[in-house]
Chains A and B, each alone.
Chain A
Amino acid sequence: MGVFVGRGTKAVVQGITGTQGSFHTRLMLDYRTKIVAGVTPGKGGTQAHGVPVYDTVEEAVEKHKADASIIFVPAPFAADASFEAMEAGLKTLVIITERIPIRDAVEIMAYAKREGVVVIGPNTPGIIVPDECKLGIMPAHVFRSGVVGMASRSGTLTYEIAAGLSIAKLGQSTCVGLGGDPIVGLSFVDVLERFREDKQTKAVALIGEIGGNLEELAAEFVASERFDKPIVAFVAGRTAPAGKRMGHAGAIVMGLAGTAQSKIEAFLGAGVRVAEKPSDVARILMKELRR
């Protein structure tokens, strides 16, 4: 059983006939994810990898009782697609699309909060519950079912650390990509709350990076709630110079807030172990779990 999604999740793919949408639909189907319908305006009535395609989410939901959507549509249309999915009653959205304007993201999140919708992303690799459900674009082969709950703000760095956990035979219970944008739906705290209740999750790996204060808030939560599962954090960008933008719109250092140092100190202060290198995450968790 994963958090947010699982074996029973039935998903719609919005933008299923685009290059990315089509390619990843095949990979998600290969992983035995229940992709029940696709949506591309104007392509209703056709099929993609054997999945029926509709013009509207409303129709797809009516016919297939879906409960989640994964969105691949280009940035200028992503807000429209997100609202359409939420109004159709879907309660979990995975927004893969990157470069969505901040104003659109702000509106999506406000509406989602009001409707009780979980938004993963935007600009996320998605979410995977190994051997059960993959709603995302991550390479499946680096994951294996296990005990570590992962939450991350990065893509490839997550795969790097997940591969390490898999080789160490710790595996992952659920791996959630929060997304690399300044405004994303989930915080580390939201995910920690789920991992706390999840029986399969015995330990947690948090993959943060410079910019914003999600890591500091996570540290505060761990300290004040006495989170009792071992946690290891890795923070990318320790050596990034201040004021320079390192690719992710989210990874901007301004003044002292959001620096790697501020995040690392917050974690250490809350009793969270901090890994120096990506490979240390698995090493430290092995030790912690043996205790």
Chain B
Amino acid sequence: MKLHEYEAKEIFSKYGMLMPKGELATSPKQARDIATKIGVPVVIKAQVLVSGRGKAGGILFASSPTETEVLTKRLLATKIKANRVQSVLVEEKLAVKKELYFGITTDRSNQKYVAIASSEGGMDIEEVAATMPERIVKALIDPLCGFRSYHARQIARKLGYAGNQLSDLTRIFLQLYRVAMDYDAELIEINPLAETVEGKFVVADARLLIDDNALYRHPEYKERLVREGTELSPQEVEAQKSGLAYVSLDGNIGIIGNGAGLVMATLDVVQLYGGRPANFLDVGGGASADKMASALNLVLSDPKVEVVFINILGGITRCDEVANGILEAKKRVGFVKPMVIRLVGTNEKEGKKILTKAGIHVLDSMEETAMRAVEMAKSGE
């Protein structure tokens, strides 16, 4: 789960890190008042959960309270990469000498967290990583030892700092690591970490992604996720409610299967035969008739879908449950688009019998079924 910049900054400042003076505004008038209070010039930052916000026009500068009001009004009326702007953060414009980067994420191949730092922070950090890897400092964190003062000092030194500044950076790195562990961060970043002309380090922008699997340890954010919803399509929201993994794509063949790997392979095979999938939908392991019915409902409610391809390989999932789910959905929706079904595995005979009785033809091979789906989608075009 992605947190907004202002939410991350609230947390970071609780841990003692220095933030620019500023407040959240949801109206142009409010933004004007904040600018008056903290003094101009200010920076106005759209609170949207997309990366590359600056380049997409989500960050503006104002040199008077009136300009702040006008620009905020403009920002609140726009969309940044299809996301409506609901609030802006109005902050003092820092006098920046240098922009640093500091972040912590997971390194899968080493099964550890890794701290990443650079003296070349800012909007182009990914480009720096790609073209000048020597400017990036990386340190794997052994969880049995933790990220300690000396690790932080080593990094600060490699970034070229000494004296008081080295101590300040060390403290910030340690504070960020604490936040990462306390909040189960999948990714946490200060980018940029601004070194001001006075030589202080200020968190100019903050990013925090909480590991979805750990949300049960952070109920306050889990609640917000449910309350506000996110940047999802109506189908994706519906899927979340039914516990289905669903991703909307732009083709016309609706796809339902069990197991993420199998469903991905199904998408691949459909495209290999020249078809275009309308979605990815994984009903998961041990899907009940009810879950199957919700899945089918979901795909059928997508106007792009012209043909539905169901690919089930029963393991924990039972084919008879799946068959009953298909009939249940047929009853509920009232109309049915052309469907091709591949059903093998646990209780295969029972499942096939249920569907054949209802006049639905069932195939055995994934490839054959994919070819059929593609043919049907093409003839319908």
Residues of A that sit less than 8 Å from B by CB: 75-76, 99-103, 105-107, 109-111, 113-114, 125, 137-139, 142, 152-160, 163, 180, 182-185, 187, 207, 209-210, 212-214, 217, 234, 236-241, 244-251, 255, 276-279
Residues of B that sit less than 8 Å from A by CB: 106, 108-109, 111-113, 126, 142-144, 181, 184, 186, 211-214, 216-217, 245, 247, 249, 257-265, 267-269, 271-272, 277, 280, 282, 285, 313-316, 344-346, 365-367
Residues of A within 8 A of B181 (CB): 103
Q: In the docked arrangement, what's the CA distance between A236 and B259, Å?
A: 12
**Residues A240 and B280 in contact in the complex (CB < 8 Å), given A102-B186, A103-B214, A139-B315:** yes
**By the criterion CB–CB under 8 Å, are A160 and B144 in contact?**
no
Q: In the docked arrangement, what's the CA distance between A187 and B108, Å?
A: 10
Q: What would 25 A/B residue contacts be, using CB atoms closer than 8 Å? A: A101-B184, A103-B181, A110-B112, A110-B143, A114-B144, A137-B315, A154-B262, A155-B259, A155-B285, A156-B257, A156-B258, A157-B261, A157-B265, A209-B264, A240-B264, A241-B249, A245-B247, A246-B247, A246-B260, A246-B282, A248-B261, A255-B126, A276-B272, A277-B268, A277-B367
Residues of B within 8 A of A277 (CB): 265, 268-269, 272, 366-367
**Residues A155 and B315 in contact in the complex (CB < 8 Å), given A102-B211, A110-B143, A110-B144:** yes
**By the criterion CB–CB under 8 Å, are A183 and B111 in contact?**
yes
Closest to A260 in B: B268
Shortest distance between the CB of A277 and any CB in chain B (Å): 6
Besides the known contacts A247-B280, A277-B269, 7 further A-B residue pairs in the complex with CB atoms under 8 A apart: A76-B216, A99-B213, A209-B264, A236-B265, A247-B260, A251-B260, A251-B264
Residues of B within 8 A of A251 (CB): 260, 264
Shortest distance between the CB of A180 and any CB in chain B (Å): 7
Residues of A within 8 A of B186 (CB): 102
Q: In the docked arrangement, what's the CA distance between A156 and B316, Å?
A: 10
Closest to A214 in B: B109
**By the criterion CB–CB under 8 Å, are A158 and B111 in contact?**
no
> Which of A103, A152, A158, A207 interacts with B184 by CB under 8 Å?
A103
* B108, B186, B257, B346: most-surrounded residue (chain A CB, <10 A): B108
Closest to A207 in B: B261
**By the criterion CB–CB under 8 Å, are A156 and B213 in contact?**
no
* B184, B261, B285: most-surrounded residue (chain A CB, <10 A): B261
Closest to B250 in A: A241
Q: In the docked arrangement, what's the CA distance between A249 and B106, Å?
A: 13
Shortest distance between the CB of B276 and any CB in chain A (Å): 9
Q: In the docked arrangement, what's the CA distance between A234 and B108, Å?
A: 20
**By the criterion CB–CB under 8 Å, are A239 and B268 in contact?**
yes
Shortest distance between the CB of A186 and any CB in chain B (Å): 10
Q: In the docked arrangement, what's the CA distance between A105 and B107, Å?
A: 12
Q: In the docked arrangement, what's the CA distance between A113 and B145, Å?
A: 14
**By the criterion CB–CB under 8 Å, are B268 and A159 in contact?**
no
Residues of B within 8 A of A163 (CB): 344
> Which of B113, B265, B316 interacts with A137 by CB under 8 Å?
B316
Residues of B within 8 A of A111 (CB): 144
**Residues A154 and B144 in contact in the complex (CB < 8 Å), given A182-B108, A247-B280, A276-B272:** no
**By the criterion CB–CB under 8 Å, are A106 and B345 in contact?**
no
Shortest distance between the CB of B280 and any CB in chain A (Å): 5
* B143, B314, B346: most-surrounded residue (chain A CB, <10 A): B143
Q: In the docked arrangement, what's the CA distance between A203 and B14, Å?
A: 56
Q: In the docked arrangement, what's the CA distance between A244 and B263, Å?
A: 14
Name the 5 nearest CB pairs between A and B, nearest first.
A154-B261, A156-B259, A247-B260, A157-B261, A101-B214
Q: In the docked arrangement, what's the CA distance between A278 and B266, Å?
A: 9
* A159, A213, A245: most-surrounded residue (chain B CB, <10 A): A159
Q: In the docked arrangement, what's the CA distance between A245 and B212, Å?
A: 12
Q: In the docked arrangement, what's the CA distance between A47 and B162, Å?
A: 64
Shortest distance between the CB of B204 and any CB in chain A (Å): 23
**By the criterion CB–CB under 8 Å, are A156 and B214 in contact?**
no
Q: In the docked arrangement, what's the CA distance between A238 and B366, Å?
A: 17
Q: In the docked arrangement, what's the CA distance between A99 and B212, Å?
A: 8
Shortest distance between the CB of A80 and any CB in chain B (Å): 14
Shortest distance between the CB of A94 and any CB in chain B (Å): 16
**By the criterion CB–CB under 8 Å, are B106 and A106 in contact?**
yes
Shortest distance between the CB of A117 and any CB in chain B (Å): 13
Q: In the docked arrangement, what's the CA distance between A184 and B272, Å?
A: 31
**By the criterion CB–CB under 8 Å, are A102 and B365 in contact?**
no
**Residues A154 and B213 in contact in the complex (CB < 8 Å), given A102-B106, A137-B316, A277-B367:** no
**Residues A240 and B272 in contact in the complex (CB < 8 Å), given A114-B144, A139-B315:** no
Shortest distance between the CB of B254 and any CB in chain A (Å): 15
**Residues A278 and B265 in contact in the complex (CB < 8 Å), given A103-B214, A156-B258, A180-B260:** yes
> Which of A106, A234, A250 interacts with B265 by CB under 8 Å?
A234
Shortest distance between the CB of A279 and any CB in chain B (Å): 6
Q: In the docked arrangement, what's the CA distance between A153 and B260, Å?
A: 10
Residues of B within 8 A of A212 (CB): 108-109
Residues of B within 8 A of A244 (CB): 247, 280
> Which of B109, B272, B345 interacts with A217 by CB under 8 Å?
B109
Shortest distance between the CB of A252 and any CB in chain B (Å): 10
**By the criterion CB–CB under 8 Å, are B268 and A238 in contact?**
yes
> Which of A182, A209, A279 interacts with B106 by CB under 8 Å?
A182
Q: In the docked arrangement, what's the CA distance between A157 and B277, Å?
A: 18
Q: In the docked arrangement, what's the CA distance between A247 and B260, Å?
A: 5
Q: In the docked arrangement, what's the CA distance between A210 and B280, Å?
A: 14
Shortest distance between the CB of A153 and any CB in chain B (Å): 7
Closest to B246 in A: A247
Residues of B within 8 A of A250 (CB): 108
Closest to B186 in A: A102
Q: In the docked arrangement, what's the CA distance between A142 and B216, Å?
A: 36
